[in-house]
Structure 1
Amino acid sequence: MKVVKLEDIIGSDQEVKGENWTSRRLILKKDNMGYSVHDTIIKAGTETHIWYKNHLEAVYCIEGAGEVETLSDNKIHKISANELYALDENDEHLLRAYDKDMRMVCVFNPPITGNETHNEEGVYELVDDE
């Protein structure tokens, strides 16, 4: 069994920061669970282009509010605390946080190694850490 404390991740190499977000990577590929789990903060008032071509992601919002705009159909999905959205078709999207930070629990399949950041397309590349 593994127990992970958020306080041990903050400030470590498993806390990765982008321009609009901070991702605390709790479970990674090396943990051999078949998925990765992240505690992610999306900064208030920001818009982030994301397109996980190589991963499926489920996102459970636990604080704040915002919206996801899926770019294939330009639909806007409002998201607030206690709601989950699943990017089950590798959806290219814009994630917008409203007037306060959003805090999300994110699950990725396949799992990430922990070193990934969004490239110019908003994609996490597949990384072979072996």
Structure 2
Amino acid sequence: MTSETNPVAAGVLELRQYTLHPGRRETLIELFEREFVHTQEALGIALPGLFRDLDDDDRFVWLRGFPDMSTRAKALAAFDGVHAPAGCAGQLPSTMRTAVGGELTVQYEQVLRLSPTARSQLPAHTGEC
């Protein structure tokens, strides 16, 4: 099984956390699942998990995986070309930021790029960051 068919085998995994304005999490999840899952998967981006933070009703957490950094760069450029506003590559798409009546839905965004260690159940990343 390759990282394309097994998202857990991704060599580069992103842990993405969005802190939202109060009461906006379900709106963002609905929009995300409707507009952003299929567009990323069509580009070969693995989405092994979308999560509600059990300790914070205003946080949405998700995982995104790529076989390597080169593939990540190409996939994100293609995704940003479809969704990001001009000059904002790599940022949260504006349609996710303004999901409800023009009000900013995402208050804070944190992205951690992760590479498995030798003791991980995931294969180690061998490319450059």
The question of a shared fold, defined as TM-score above 0.5 by the shorter chain, is answered with: no
Instruction: Give the structure-2-normalised TM-score.
Output: 0.28
Determine which structure has the larger strand proportion and give its number. 1
Instruction: Give the structure-1-normalised TM-score.
Output: 0.28
Max Rg structure: 2
